[in-house]
Amino acid sequence: MFSMKPMSKVRVTCSSASVEKLVKELYDFGMIHVKKSKQLGEGKPLTSFNDVSSALISLRAIEREYAIKTKIEGKELPLNELSKRLESLELSFLDDSKKRIQELESNISSFKERLKELDLFKEIDFNLPESELVEYACFDFKKDFTLKNASVYKFGSYALIAFPKKDRDKVFSSLKGVALRFVNIPRIEKTFSQDYSDVQKQLDYASRELKDLKTELSGFLEKNSSEIVFLRKSFELLARKSELPLKFGFTESLCSVEGWVLEKDYSHLKHSVEKEFSNKVLVEKIDSNDLPPSEYNNPTLARPFESFMSFLSVPRFDELDPSIFVALTFPLFFGMILGDIGYGLILVLMGLAIRWKAKDKFVSDAGGILTYSGVFTIIFGFFYFEFFGFEEVFGFHIEPFIHRADPHGVQELLALSVLFGFLHLALGFILAIWNNYKHHHYKHALAKGGWLLLSISMVFLISQSIDIVFFESIKHYAEVFGPELALYGTLIGLGVLLYTEGVIGLFEIPGYFSNLLSYMRIAALGLAGVIIAGLVNQLKPDLALVASLDPLAIVMFVLTLIFFLIGHVVSLSLGIFESGIQSLRLHAVEFFSKFYKGGAESFSPLKRK
């Protein structure tokens, strides 16, 4: 419960010709965490690797290119079956269509360009024969005109003129004050109007083809997208298998694989592999100084917090797994900060819904954590007696243990927060003693013992001068044992610190107090939450407005109700985020710094059963 599942390191050695069979056996067994072999020569993938990876590259590229989002699981199928299914898809259609679409789009854009050029001249039904003696010009004119040396064709406010090249200067000088702007005359093959209608036809044809091709393409994708995703995922499963021997050690005739299995699974692995290989294989346990990967070993109730621990840092195999403690203290601090019956009920419902719907373990665990936190939020909701920030539940009110909106209540909550902080840190020291004792680091264990004694004694001493209800019990014990005992405890603690950690240890005492005071955030955040909820509740809709049957009053009621609901959603979201993140911080920074190393590798078997 407090440590990881026991592991054995195993080595399987067989003929290198049987590597494919070995991979299949290992995958069938599943629960083995394969490590890169340090024995023999470099590993190499299975022969099927090239086919699998090229199929994967093209399938992934297609998925990305056409943004295929279909969700479907892959299946372990043999390579030849997958290859046949891939071929029957005729994916070359996608490549051909892509090329043709690009071509058509480029044609369409050049047709449009050409139409733009011809647009001004589209009504003109003649051409302009090329001649060395004649020159043409087109311009926008601002007043009517006549030209002696040129033929003029007017259309709208434009004029097209033809004149002998030799008279160029004369023509242009007589156009001064007439021509506003000269226009380029497009090159034509037939007449202006015929060219225009030809290009228009080509554009229509290309646009139709493009539309048809796109329809055909989307039909193809609609029909085949699930098959494409299925094949990609199935090829990925195959790729994992064909890549696995990269971690093996090879000689010309032998191959060997090393990995971690759960201790209880070792004999099963040995029997199944030996049976399949008719004993032409060596399966053995090997000694190793490497740290085994970590596989949690917690009761069902604490399991959602395994994801929480992995999110922070996976516990090492050789240290204590604090999941079970975190399962109690995280929701406790969360509930203490949020503390509201109404919000708690919503959290429990949200948590259960997430747990019910989620397929991913991490999300499902987050739902579990939310449910636990919701339960503690309800418990503290009764403690503060708050229901969506109100101090009564449908007219029912009981006197809270702590009134958070009251100055005295805030002081009590601050003291209670520090008290919980003290207990949390003391638990951290106890776990540190346990960890160090287990590893025979007796001096370190003694140092943590010194810290524990020092912290308890100092809190006993300080409690003498604090007059707050939650410190009365501490004060009571301090009086029973006598104030001298706390003083002796402090002195002994200091002595132990000096002996085990030297003067540096003494410098860390303010650090302990800073950690302790850090727990005051529980009260501060709670207070901020209460104030926000109180502000929202000032918008409480008045039912009397509806009873008056005045339309304006009803609109006011609806508007207030909307703002009221939005306000509570914002308040709850802030509450969840802040309570979650600050409770996480109290664990990651204050609590774990006392005993926790973490940073281990998770046990990731080939296949979980």
* Residue 362 engages another protein in binding (rule: CB under 8 A): no
* Residue 589 engages another protein in binding (rule: CB under 8 A): yes
**Shortest separation between residue 429's beta carbon and another protein, angstroms:** 22
Q: Which of 28, 52, 69, 93 is closest to 231 using CA atoms?
A: 52
* Residue 129 engages another protein in binding (rule: CB under 8 A): no
CB closer to another protein, 128 vs 405: 405
The structure tokens listed for 217 are 């393409």
CB closer to another protein, 378 vs 410: 410
Q: Given phi > 0 = left and psi -120 to 50 = alpha, else beta, which region is 503?
A: alpha
* Residue 555 engages another protein in binding (rule: CB under 8 A): no
Q: Which of 327, 260, 339 is closest to 576 using CA atoms?
A: 339
SS3 readout for 353-396:
HHHHHCCCHHHHHHHHHHHHHHHHHHHHHHHHCCECCECCECCE
CB closer to another protein, 14 vs 525: 525
Q: Which strand (E) or helix (H) includes residue 527?
A: helix 521-537
CB atoms within 10 A of CB 492: 14
Residues 473 to 532 in contact with another protein, rule: CB under 8 A = 517-518, 520-521, 523-525, 527-528
Beta bridge partners of 140: 158, 181
* Residue 37 engages another protein in binding (rule: CB under 8 A): no
β-strands 134-141, 158-164 pairing: antiparallel
- Distance from C-alpha of 172 to C-alpha of 235, rounded to nearest angstrom: 74
CB closer to another protein, 124 vs 523: 523
- Distance from C-alpha of 558 to C-alpha of 577, rounded to nearest angstrom: 29
**Shortest separation between residue 389's beta carbon and another protein, angstroms:** 18
* Residue 584 engages another protein in binding (rule: CB under 8 A): yes
- Distance from C-alpha of 41 to C-alpha of 36, rounded to nearest angstrom: 11
The structure tokens listed for 299 are 């009761």
* Residue 468 engages another protein in binding (rule: CB under 8 A): no
- Distance from C-alpha of 469 to C-alpha of 423, rounded to nearest angstrom: 17
The DSSP call for residue 189 is: S
* Residue 110 engages another protein in binding (rule: CB under 8 A): no
CB closer to another protein, 129 vs 407: 407
CB closer to another protein, 159 vs 462: 462
The residue within the footprint of another protein, chosen from 353, 581, 597, 599 (CB under 8 A), is: 581
**Shortest separation between residue 410's beta carbon and another protein, angstroms:** 6
* Residue 574 engages another protein in binding (rule: CB under 8 A): no
How many residues bind another protein, per CB under 8 A? Answer: 22
Over the window 405 to 444, marking each residue x when it contacts another protein by CB under 8 A and - when it does not, the resulting string is --x--xx--x------------------------------
* Residue 535 engages another protein in binding (rule: CB under 8 A): no
**Shortest separation between residue 584's beta carbon and another protein, angstroms:** 7
Contact 238, 79 (CB under 8 A): yes
**Shortest separation between residue 352's beta carbon and another protein, angstroms:** 25
- Distance from C-alpha of 77 to C-alpha of 83, rounded to nearest angstrom: 10
Helices (H) and strands (E) in the chain, counts: 20, 9
* Residue 556 engages another protein in binding (rule: CB under 8 A): no
Residues found near another protein in the complex (CB under 8 A): 311-313, 407, 410-411, 414, 517-518, 520-521, 523-525, 527-528, 581-582, 584-585, 588-589
